Amino acid sequence: MATKNIIIIGASSGLGKEATRKFAQMGYTIGIAARNIDALNELQKEYPQSIVATSQIDVTAPDAGEKLLALIEKTGGVDTLLLASGIGNQNPSLDTSIELNTVKTNVFGFTQIVDTAFNYFRSRSHKEVPGQIAVISSIAGTMGLGIAPSYSATKRYQRHYIDALEQLAHFEKVNVIFTDIRPGFVDTPLLRNSKKFPMLMSVDYATPRIVKAIIKKKRIAIIDWRWRLVVAFWLLIPRCIWQYIPAK
Give the residue extent of every domain in the chain: 5-242
The string of pLDDT tens digits covering residues 163-220 is: 999 999 999 999 999 999 998 777 666 555 555 666 778 888 999 999 999 999 999 9
Q: What is the mean pLDDT of the chain?
A: 91
Residue 81 near residue 55, CB atoms below 8 Å: no
Residue 192: the pLDDT is: 52
Please give the average per-residue pLDDT across 62-87, as a whole number: 96
Residue 210: the pLDDT is: 95
Residue 158: the pLDDT is: 97
Higher-confidence residue: 4 or 112?
112
Please give the average per-residue pLDDT across 64-80, as a whole number: 96
CA angle 141, 142, 143 (to 5 degrees): 95
Cβ burial, residue 45 (10 Å; 0-12/13-18/19+):
exposed
- In 3D space, the residue among 26, 64, 32 whose CA is nearest the CA of residue 45 turns out to be 32
- In 3D space, the residue among 77, 27, 79, 15 whose CA is nearest the CA of residue 211 turns out to be 15
Q: pTM score > 0.95 for this model?
A: no
Query: Residue 98 — pLDDT band, cuts 50, 70, 90?
Result: very high
CATH 3.10.560.10 corresponds to the domain 5-242: no
pLDDT exceeds cutoff 80 at 127 = no
pLDDT exceeds cutoff 70 at 1 = no
The string of pLDDT tens digits covering residues 24-37 is: 999 999 999 999 99
Residue 200: the pLDDT is: 76
Give every CB contact of residue 227 below 8 A, 6+ residues apart in sequence. 139, 182, 183, 184, 199
